[in-house]
């Protein structure tokens, strides 16, 4: 933790001429979670949901109100907010039996849990966005470096072709083609430089870093993250689907929302039952308030009322039935959304596994093609030293080797993206910060 805080301090306070810091993927995700305004908003929403539950539950805790209703009376006595004029008064109110309110508290509790699960969904989404931006930046920077290395070979090949055209040994179109290759290389470099700049800005924004902070990615972003089992295993794919259902914050959110709808249904159904409320009123009366009774001699200073307020719903069946029907329809919708999400998550997992298999196979092909290109370059170099191959053939062999290296970089990037997609689909993307 100390090293993470130290790196965060260096990134936040380094001088403009300080060499760029190497930022690992795990550090990037941790920094985003620590500084992102989204996380603060999610925490505030969870706190608000919890406070709403506390407010609803407080109705079952007797509330005590103390005050005074002292007033001068002339003529007919009148009430002040439902109470006679008094030096001091106290009121205690609390629910004794209220099934609709009890179920409403259950609904709010389920909604609060849904908010927490929704926060987990947004947290995983933030990790996904940071990770994909980081991987894209790492890949683009590597591609820019590889493309830049091609410039020397293309320039040499251009000079050779122009010389051969001048000598009449090549067609003029070959010289034009060589110039076009150099121009395309420069264009590609400019595109890569612009993309690197854009991705750096994107990552700074996600990490809440100043615009002048400089950093670079690590060479192997997911090198420390090993798969638990072979992704080409059908058994592992089936287990991954079950893990995805168990870990999915989205499914948990939908489950809690379903529970909230069911609690609302119970609340609406319980509207037909009586409700009972505790009522306690106390008033201290005195002749100074000139409260008029039939006889001042019968006026007692201390007056108290203790009882209950009972409400029995009559002739409300039509209204209750309509609201029960509405709540039942919402439950049907929630169940359908839950089942649809389960099917989609299973499909996402299987798709991610297939993409991972294809990426693994593509990477192996790219590795072998690069190995073959290197062997061809070695053979051409030996022939060039023996005078049996020209500089043109040697530079073309080197360009082919460079192209195969770029293909290997692309396949490696695709493999990392596929591995990340598997983690996202199975709900295990938070492993990046473990």
Percent of the residues in the chain that have a pLDDT greater than 70, as a whole number? 86
CA 424 – CA 416 distance, rounded (Å): 12
Indicate the pLDDT class of residue 149, thresholds 50, 70 and 90: confident
Kindly report the number of other CB atoms within 10 A of residue 275's CB atom: 18
pLDDT at residue 46, as a whole number? 84
**How many residues appear in the chain?**
434
Q: In terms of Cα–Cα distance, which of 210, 152, 214, 164 is closest to 22? A: 214
Helix residue ranges, H only, 97-171: 99-166
pLDDT at residue 262, as a whole number? 92
CA 371 – CA 379 distance, rounded (Å): 12
For residues 168-173, give the mean pLDDT. 81
pLDDT mean across residues, the chain = 81
pLDDT at residue 13, as a whole number? 42
2-35+98-273+313-433: what fold?
Outer membrane efflux proteins (OEP) (1.20.1600)
Residue 67 pLDDT greater than 60, yes or no = yes
For residues 35-51, give the mean pLDDT. 84
E strand residue ranges, 220-336:
275-284, 302-311
pLDDT tens string 364-420: 999 999 899 889 888 888 887 777 777 778 778 888 888 888 888 888 888 888 888
pTM, 2 dp:
0.73
State residue 38 phi and psi, 5-degree precision: -60, -40
Question: Which residues is 95 bridged to in the sheet?
Answer: 277
Domain definitions of the chain by residue range: 2-35+98-273+313-433
Indicate the pLDDT class of residue 253, thresholds 50, 70 and 90: very high
Number of alpha carbons in the 13 Å side-chain half-sphere of residue 56 = 19
pLDDT tens string 257-301: 999 999 999 988 888 888 888 888 888 777 665 555 555 556 677
Instruction: Identify the sign of the CA torsion 70, 71, 74, 77.
Output: negative
| Long-range contact set of residues 150-156: C-beta below 8 Å, sequence gap at least 24 | 150/185, 150/399, 150/402, 151/182, 151/185, 151/186, 151/189, 153/395, 153/398, 153/399, 153/402, 154/178, 154/181, 154/182, 154/185, 154/399, 155/182, 156/391, 156/395
Kindly report the number of other CB atoms within 10 A of residue 228's CB atom: 11
């Amino acid at each position: 933790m100390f090293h993470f805080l130290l790196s965060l301090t260096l990134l936040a306070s380094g001088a403009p001429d300080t060499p760029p810091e190497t930022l690992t993927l795990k550090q990037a995700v941790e920094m985003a979670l620590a500084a992102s305004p989204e996380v603060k908003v999610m925490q505030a929403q969870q706190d608000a949901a919890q406070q709403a539950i506390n407010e609803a539950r407080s109705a079952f805790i007797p509330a005590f109100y103390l005050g005074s209703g002292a007033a001068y009376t002339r003529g007919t006595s009148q009430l002040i907010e439902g109470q006679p004029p008094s030096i001091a008064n106290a009121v205690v109110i609390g629910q004794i039996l209220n099934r609709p309110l009890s179920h409403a508290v259950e609904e709010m509790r389920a909604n609060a849990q849904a908010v927490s699960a929704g926060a987990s969904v947004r947290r995983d989404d933030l990790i996904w966005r940071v990770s994909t931006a980081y991987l894209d930046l790492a890949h683009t920077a590597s591609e820019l470096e590889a493309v830049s290395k091609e410039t020397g070979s293309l320039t040499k090949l251009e000079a050779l072709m122009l010389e051969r055209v001048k000598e009449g040994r090549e067609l003029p179109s070959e010289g034009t083609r060589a110039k076009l290759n150099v121009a395309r290389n420069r264009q590609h470099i400019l595109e890569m430089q612009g993309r690197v700049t854009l991705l750096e800005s994107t990552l700074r924004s996600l990490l809440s870093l100043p615009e002048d902070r400089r950093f670079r990615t690590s060479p192997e972003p997911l090198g420390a993250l090993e798969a638990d089992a072979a992704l080409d295993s059908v058994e592992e794919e089936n287990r991954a689907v079950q893990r995805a259902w168990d870990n999915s914050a989205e499914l948990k959110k939908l489950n809690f929302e379903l529970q909230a709808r069911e609690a609302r249904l119970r609340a609406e159904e319980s509207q037909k039952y009586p409700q009972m409320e505790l009522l306690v009123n106390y008033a201290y009366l005195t002749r100074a308030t000139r409260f008029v009774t039939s006889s001042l001699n019968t006026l007692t200073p201390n007056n108290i009322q203790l009882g209950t307020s009972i409400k029995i719903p009559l002739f409300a069946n039509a209204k209750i039935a309509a609201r029960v029907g509405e709540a039942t329809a919402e439950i049907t919708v929630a169940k359908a959304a839950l089942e649809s999400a389960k099917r989609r998550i299973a499909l996402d997992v299987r798709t991610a596994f297939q993409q991972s298999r294809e990426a693994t196979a593509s990477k192996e092909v790219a590795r072998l093609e690069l190995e073959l290109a290197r062997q061809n370059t070695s053979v051409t170099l030996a022939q060039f030293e023996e005078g049996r191959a020209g500089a043109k053939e040697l530079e073309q062999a080197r360009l082919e080797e460079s192209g195969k290296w770029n293909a290997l970089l692309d396949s490696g990037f695709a493999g990392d993206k596929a591995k990340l997609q598997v983690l996202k689909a199975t709900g295990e993307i938070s492993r990046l910060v473990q």
